[in-house]
Structure 1
Amino acid sequence: MNKSVVILYKYLIHTFQAERKSWHDAYEHITKAVCTIREKLLEEDSKKINDPSLYGESLAFESWEMFLDKMFDNRPNGVSGIGQSIFSDEMRKNARHNHELINILTNLIKDPSKNNHEQFANIWNQVFSKNNPVQTNRATATCTLDVSSTVDVGRFNEVFSWFVDNKYVEPYTGGDDWYSRNIYLVKELRAKIDTAELREGELPDVPVDNYWINIFIWLAYENIANPFSLSKQVIKYGAPGTGKTYNAKKICQIQYSFWKKTYGLESEVEFDEVFNVVQFHPTYSYEDFIEGLRPILKESKSQLTLVNGIFKQLCKEAGKWEADLYNIDPNREFSKWTVEQVKQSRLEKDKEYWKYVLTLDGETKVKDILPPYFIVIDEINRAELSAVFGELMYSLEYRGASNAIKTQYAALNDASTAVLTVNGIGKFFVSHNVYIIGTMNTIDRSVDSFDFALRRRFKWEEVHPDMDLLKLHLDEYNKVWSPIVKSVTALNDKLEQEPLLGKDYRLGHAYFWNLGYNKDLKENDLRKRLWEDKIGPLLEEYLRGSGNNGLINSFKTAFGLK
């Protein structure tokens, strides 16, 4: 058994269990409801999914129309959301009476096989003249737990490849379609995630069932496979209040914890040593970030001394393993070093930071077992980035000790400040285990500080207001307040459509997360308080000096207030 899969499952479910419990319950509810419909269809083979006798107040769904709406809802239906796919009123009307679609949907519910899944995707394309794989995949996922709840093909392929490439599941030789890969991955994970294994270790027991295992696949995509899959430097951008910085910190914590449980049990490296957060501002400089001269008091005299900035010092700590190996053999690629080769080398093995590495399996690649180091740069676009980053522009693209460069103050570097010392010359490089996450609000016009050369060195991830997550949160916190989500959604739609503002001015879910009001407050009273305390003043600030303050009333109406 690959213990790391169990460790990852245990950590992710432990971390997100409370947050995702509502999803688990909704997922279980709709799949069991569809199972009830399946049983009725199998009892009387002549019935179709639109047969009124399948429905009623005491049954899983009240009507065929309700079943159709729930199955293809434009909001999460318990299995997943649908991204940009839209099930319009016209499509819904057409689906209710299209006999061929009804026949094939009936077959899919009775037998969610690959053949029926593909037939349903084909008939969807024929009936609606559009290809909506997220919708058709979600329909199949509602009918069977043997495929996961990750219904977006691109995202599923990304996490599937991650599981396979990292050998967390056995090598795959099947078809490259979404259905076949799903069947394989779900089956493999069920076999590997053993309940006895889950009760071992430091973390508390976590629940395990087919719903949680399928949700685990999404959590692995969202928190492990996706964040750094395309680049080790990422920019999270979007409207204010969407939790960009919070999510960045959480991703770092999860990545570190996964390393610690998998490889670093014998290492003394703690999270605080590998994680740094800094907020950029207009006066932030190269000297603050990379290196600069600072007055240091020595023997009662002030003396200018070279001091590492926060990022260079992080690189020095993160790169010490790679620097050691480079000095042993500069011609050997870092990625090819194994633990056994390190043991056989002339490395000074009494160095404390190497001790845990030398306890691991000899065939393991060193690059895979080093602790990850993180820097989160909040409001990254508020500084003059080209000036702050300096030589980092090169080092971000060409990582590793073999690409080490001299910095502006190279002549002043010594062993205490240099990331790498070669023939007495201090150099700088960014090691392969360094991760950079920048966050920025696109409402801030200083976004222009990103020039094209810098933009292409980062992976860009837009973070949207997550009203589905907010609803799940309010359902748990105070269900009476849940309808406020529709008001916020309507207001955001209005803000997005307003030419003067646009989508960057939408309200993020974090604005409504920690509501300190008395829980006895009624829904409409909450709406009024939110407008007076949070929303109204914020929108007035947005419109200040625009001459369009009259828009406030239209926004207020959209929010559900007169």
Structure 2
Amino acid sequence: MANLFFGKFSQNYPEQIEGKFYAAGPEGTSWYGNLQPGDYVFPLFGGKVAELWKMDRYVEQAGTDRRQKGRAEFKVVKTFPEPIGLSDGFIPYKYFELNLNMLNKSVKSVKNLGFLSITTTTDAPEPENMEFREEDTRKLYTAPESAIPDSGNFKDGDIRVLITNSEDQKPGYIVEIQEYQNGSFNRYEPLMSLYEERNLPEERYSLNELLEWSREDGATKKEKYLRAVIDDLEERGIYLAVSAVALYDNVLVGRKRSASNSKAEKSRETALMAESTDLSEDIDSYDIYRQLLEHNPNMILYGPPGTGKTYAIEKIIENMEQHRTGTYIDFHTIQEDKRVEFLTFHQSFSYEEFVEGIRPVLDGYDSSELNANTSTLGYRIEDGILKRLASRASVNRVKEEEADIPAELSPDSQVYKISLGRRHGEDEIYKFCRDNSLIAIGWLESHDLSEWDYDKIFDSLKSEREEGSQAPTNDASSVDFFVNQISTGDIVVVYDGKYTIRDIVVVSEEYRYLPDSSSRYPHRRKVKWLRHFEKPVDIRNINNGKRLTMKTVYPLRNVEVSDLEPFITKIGAGSGEHSNIKKALPHYLVIDEINRGNISKIFGELITLIEADKRDKISVRLPYSRKPFTLPKNLYIIGTMNTADRSIAIIDTALRRRFVFMEVEPAPSVLAMSDTPSVAGKIDLEKLLTALNKRIVEKFDRDHRIGHAYFMDLNNLEAFRITWYYKIIPLLMEYFYNDGKTISEIIGTAFIDPMTCQVKPLSGNALIDSIQKIYQRTITAQ
């Protein structure tokens, strides 16, 4: 007997839809599931189902890539008059069981699986007779027992999430999920079982409690949905869910999942978190952006407002990470690793904020004190956001290249200088330290200094000296730095000469007192040797030209960890040596509204360094710190540009030459694939956006089209009304200033007076009817 499936076809491969095949390797590959010749398949593509296919055969082919080794071929059984929307037509078809495949796996990525089975009801027609008429589409309501839909009645197949709403019960709790059949509601087992499985009794919250949790958990999309549900229940007593997927994700799944302490619970939570992760956008569809960034690490996404440029950047970064690691990594996880920085350019943004500048500081000023009169005003050089991220990228390259690097090593780690024995006099101390991977100092050899502070160290050293001798200030300071100030993860350079060093090490353990006969230097710290130089290295360029002193231990205030990275990884300017450069953790600088800043002023001399062939090769001396600086190859710069704000034609030519440009257009099809493809089941958002932009292009230009993001997550008519009147119409009035006639030709005279530009408020059915006329008029004209 033939089985019924839906197949998930990536928009990256439209040729598979056109050619009626699915290339995933030979028969038996996991991607095909249990698909067999003779089975029926509804191909999902672009959020819609346009045809019914029948599996014909498996074909094996020669090739190296998985997709080249074989494919499944299909024959068309029928073509539907109009493509069926996934969320509002296909999934709620009353003859399909609403199970996990339909509610979750149909819209979210499933690893190595392209075909999933459809469970049908006992009275379902044969696949070739399925028509997906409006009367066969389930309505999904959230309502108390007494609620009746606007139409006045329910029909067979409709679903009701029954909630409490009586004086003797707390309101908003789910009592049961029911299906309407033959005049009455009864428990709908598929959905009720999913709800009970995903919500333990103690985790079953009311709608208001879920709303509060969504705010606390930062689940913005869930918060919007729950707010719409609660508002409609308060105003109308019933909520009509356009999308079964959205209802499941935002209400039935319960609270956003988090880690648990219990092992069994942790396993359960991990599975549920994986299920609820929003992978509805196929990450593979961003391959082209990743490939461009691999060619040029500088990219600008440009397009009209609301096209989802920032969202696209998040997905591009996720695609980069997935390609690098082989596993999906959520964007926010990458952000938490401090590998992404966001900033917005504006007319006042400067080089000093972007690269480095001089900042005033109050020495000794305590921000908790209101009176700062006793503080001294001073100035310091402070890194800008680009330099900070470049430092982070450089330090992470050190950690990637070297094994067993302490996790504490960071751009904020301190750099110290140490002398190991007397140069040309006590080289056995230096050799002892290298052989044993440690650094060591003498003084107070008979004492464990673990609990000693500077004063005690100073007093003890002074007591060992003859009266009238020079105070042991430098020695006490060296001991204090070694015992109390140096931390795990700090970098220590080993002194060679007044400008040169012979080793770079990273501290891996805290101070230890180890007296033994092998050395008279009992105060020790374990270190990892990062680099030994057969020929001592001159560091005056990164130390502001200052010479190294004979003091045994002290911090190099002018040197940062990132300054030493070229010496550690052997990248030095022009050397081109770095075996692990492709493995280095990528870092991302995201610049919103990049065209609003003065590019020449902000980038300065770094406009040259951002080029791909200049990274890690060419360095410039920065004007304030006077240090050489180069941009690492593992730092990507991604900008966004709003074409309605300022024409990209006047963008700095130097900037244009160093970036690749990718247009992000309004995509009405994204609305069809979303959880909310329509409003109240009556306003088709895809058709509305298409009609609006068609007229805007005719009346103005393509740079001022409206982006699809304006119409995302509109979960009820009120949310749409607010967006329409307080975002869309004001945007049009800005585009066509004081031109009521043109605006009325775009949205109709029902919304604006063509003579006075007076906006006319509508609501309810009048709003719905007037909106429908906008796209119905366009369809008729075509």
Give the TM-score taking structure 2 as reference length.
0.38
Match of 2:351 in 1: 286
Shift of 1:248: 1.3
Shift of 1:295: 0.6
Match of 2:730 in 1: 537
Match of 1:553 in 2: 744
CA separation of 1:142/1:113 partners in 2, compared to 1, >3 Å: closer, same or farther?
closer
Match of 1:229 in 2: 294
Q: Which ranges in structure 2 are unaligned for 5 or more consecutive residues?
A: 22-38, 62-70, 76-111, 114-266, 365-374, 402-436, 438-501, 510-526, 532-577, 749-769, 775-782
Shift of 1:251: 3.0
Shift of 1:536: 2.0
Shift of 1:484: 2.6
Query: AA paired with 1:505?
Result: H
CA separation of 1:229/1:296 partners in 2, compared to 1, >3 Å: closer, same or farther?
same
For the pair shown, which has the larger CA radius of gyration, 1 or 2?
Answer: 2
1:263 & 1:349 partners in 2: Cα distance?
32
Report which of the two has the higher share of strand: 2
Report which of the two has the higher share of helix: 1
1:518 & 1:549 partners in 2: Cα distance?
25
Q: Which of 342, 345, 348 lines up with 1:277 in the alignment?
A: 342
1:228 & 1:305 partners in 2: Cα distance?
36
Match of 2:307 in 1: 242
Determine helix, strand or coil for the equivalent of 1:465.
coil
Q: What percent of counterpart residues are identical? A: 29
Shift of 1:550: 0.8
Q: After TM superposition, list the pairs within 5 Å mapping 1:113-192 onto structure 2.
A: 143=74
Match of 1:510 in 2: 709
Determine helix, strand or coil for the equivalent of 1:480.
coil
2:722 & 2:312 partners in 1: Cα distance?
28
Match of 2:628 in 1: 427
Q: Which shows bigger deviation, 380-389 or 243-252?
A: 243-252
Q: Which ranges in structure 1 are unaligned for 5 or more consecutive residues?
A: 1-20, 36-58, 62-66, 81-105, 116-139, 145-188, 191-199, 327-342, 359-363, 414-425
Match of 1:407 in 2: 622
Q: Which of 284, 289, 299 lines up with 1:218 in the alignment?
A: 284
Query: AA paired with 2:301?
Result: K
Q: Is the contact between residue 359 and residue 382 of structure 2 (CA under 8 Å) also seen in structure 1?
A: yes
1:507 & 1:22 partners in 2: Cα distance?
33
CA separation of 1:382/1:480 partners in 2, compared to 1, >3 Å: closer, same or farther?
same
Match of 1:313 in 2: 388
1:503-547 C-alpha deviation (Å, 9 max, x unpaired):
11111111001325358x9xxxx6x765434322221111115xx
CA separation of 1:370/1:324 partners in 2, compared to 1, >3 Å: closer, same or farther?
closer
Q: Which of 694, 707, 710 lines up with 1:493 in the alignment?
A: 694
Query: AA paired with 1:399?
Result: K
1:370 aligns with 2:614: no
1:93-132 C-alpha deviation (Å, 9 max, x unpaired):
xxxxxxxxxxxxx9x99679799xxxxxxxxxxxxxxxxx
Determine helix, strand or coil for the equivalent of 1:464.
coil
Determine helix, strand or coil for the equivalent of 1:443.
coil
Q: Which shows bigger deviation, 290-299 or 434-443?
A: 290-299
Match of 2:361 in 1: 296
Determine helix, strand or coil for the equivalent of 2:620.
coil
Determine helix, strand or coil for the equivalent of 2:674.
helix
Q: Is the contact between residue 474 and residue 482 of structure 1 (CA under 8 Å) also seen in structure 2?
A: no
Q: Is the contact between residue 490 and residue 559 of structure 1 (CA under 8 Å) also seen in structure 2?
A: no
1:54-112 C-alpha deviation (Å, 9 max, x unpaired):
xxxxx989xxxxx9xx99x9x876599xxxxxxxxxxxxxxxxxxxxxxxxx9x99679
Query: AA paired with 1:553?
Result: S
Q: Name which structure has the greater RCO, CA cutoff 8 Å, separation 6+.
A: 1
Query: AA paired with 1:286?
Result: Y
Q: Is the contact between residue 693 and residue 706 of structure 2 (CA under 8 Å) also seen in structure 1?
A: yes
Shift of 1:301: 1.4
Determine helix, strand or coil for the equivalent of 1:552.
helix
2:602 & 2:616 partners in 1: Cα distance?
22
1:391 aligns with 2:592: no
Shift of 1:444: 1.5
1:256 & 1:469 partners in 2: Cα distance?
24
CA separation of 1:262/1:530 partners in 2, compared to 1, >3 Å: closer, same or farther?
closer
Q: Which of 435, 438, 450 lines up with 2:639 in the alignment?
A: 438
Q: Which shows bigger deviation, 456-465 or 271-280?
A: 271-280
Query: AA paired with 2:505?
Result: E
Determine helix, strand or coil for the equivalent of 2:614.
coil
2:734 & 2:649 partners in 1: Cα distance?
22
Query: AA paired with 1:489?
Result: T
Q: Is the contact between residue 491 and residue 559 of structure 1 (CA under 8 Å) also seen in structure 2?
A: no
Match of 1:348 in 2: 505
Match of 1:17 in 2: none
Match of 1:24 in 2: 8
Shift of 1:396: 0.8
Q: Is the contact between residue 693 and residue 705 of structure 2 (CA under 8 Å) also seen in structure 1?
A: yes
CA separation of 1:111/1:253 partners in 2, compared to 1, >3 Å: closer, same or farther?
closer
Shift of 1:382: 0.6
Determine helix, strand or coil for the equivalent of 2:342.
strand
Q: Is the contact between residue 488 and residue 559 of structure 1 (CA under 8 Å) also seen in structure 2?
A: no
2:399 & 2:667 partners in 1: Cα distance?
45
Q: After TM superposition, list the pairs within 5 Å mapping 1:33-72 onto structure 2.
A: none
1:337-372 C-alpha deviation (Å, 9 max, x unpaired):
xxxxxx9x97636579x99x99xxxxx942132211
1:457 aligns with 2:629: no
CA separation of 1:441/1:114 partners in 2, compared to 1, >3 Å: closer, same or farther?
farther
Determine helix, strand or coil for the equivalent of 1:276.
strand
Q: Is the contact between residue 256 and residue 371 of structure 1 (CA under 8 Å) also seen in structure 2?
A: no
Shift of 1:262: 7.0
CA separation of 1:207/1:259 partners in 2, compared to 1, >3 Å: closer, same or farther?
same
Match of 2:415 in 1: none
CA separation of 1:542/1:262 partners in 2, compared to 1, >3 Å: closer, same or farther?
closer
2:673 & 2:690 partners in 1: Cα distance?
14
CA separation of 1:555/1:503 partners in 2, compared to 1, >3 Å: closer, same or farther?
same
CA separation of 1:262/1:253 partners in 2, compared to 1, >3 Å: closer, same or farther?
closer
1:252 & 1:298 partners in 2: Cα distance?
41
Give the TM-score taking structure 1 as reference length.
0.51
CA separation of 1:22/1:518 partners in 2, compared to 1, >3 Å: closer, same or farther?
farther
Q: Is the contact between residue 263 and residue 369 of structure 1 (CA under 8 Å) also seen in structure 2?
A: no
Q: Is the contact between residue 384 and residue 449 of structure 1 (CA under 8 Å) also seen in structure 2?
A: no
2:504 & 2:328 partners in 1: Cα distance?
20
1:511 & 1:269 partners in 2: Cα distance?
27
CA separation of 1:222/1:281 partners in 2, compared to 1, >3 Å: closer, same or farther?
same
CA RMSD of aligned residues (A): 5.2
1:278-322 C-alpha deviation (Å, 9 max, x unpaired):
011110011110111111222421122211111111112212366
Determine helix, strand or coil for the equivalent of 2:310.
helix
Q: After TM superposition, list the pairs within 5 Å mapping 1:7-18 onto structure 2.
A: none
